């Protein structure tokens, strides 16, 4: 798994690529979120367009990232969900927790 970061205005966009699986993806994402928060970013958009697989541990890490940012006055939103990830969020009722957007541009604009 890879995570590329870029700043758009005052939003940190994290482009996640590959398989998000236990011991690889979940640790990498948790470390990246902690780094982003430490850098002072409070608006984070996860771009999941290129995630090929997401396991329950990595879903838990996304929930943890949401909690970390929320507890520090920040916001985490999701963009470009694959059909499988969208189904997973629906089944787990997490669609009521996360704000999701079809594109990165829509997600970035939503922070305004």
Give 54-107 pLDDT, tens digit per residue: 888 888 999 999 999 999 999 999 999 999 899 999 999 999 999 999 999 999
Residue 22 CA: distances (Å) to CA of 26, 47, 74, 106 = 6, 19, 25, 30
- Burial per residue of 16-44, b for 16 or more beta-carbon CB atoms within 10 angstroms, e otherwise: beeebeeeebbebbbebbeebbeeebbbb
Read off the pTM. Answer: 0.93
**pLDDT value at position 76?**
97
Range of the domain at 28: 2-110
**pLDDT value at position 20?**
87
**pLDDT value at position 9?**
94
Number of domains the chain contains: 1
Which CATH number do you get for residue 15?
A: 3.30.750.24
Q: Which tens digits make up the pLDDT trace of 13-62?
A: 999 999 888 777 778 888 999 999 999 999 999 999 999 888 888 889 99
């Amino acid at each position: 798994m890879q995570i590329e970061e870029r700043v758009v205005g005052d939003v940190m966009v994290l482009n996640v690529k590959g398989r998000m699986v236990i011991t690889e993806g979940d640790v990498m994402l948790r470390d990246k979120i902690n780094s982003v928060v430490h850098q002072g970013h409070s608006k984070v958009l996860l771009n999941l367009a290129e995630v090929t697989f997401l396991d329950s541990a990595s879903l838990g890490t996304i929930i943890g990232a949401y909690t970390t940012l929320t507890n520090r006055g920040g916001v985490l939103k999701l963009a470009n969900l694959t059909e499988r990830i969208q189904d997973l969020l629906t089944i787990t009722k997490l669609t009521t927790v996360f704000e999701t957007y079809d594109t990165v541009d829509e997600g970035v604009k939503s922070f305004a």
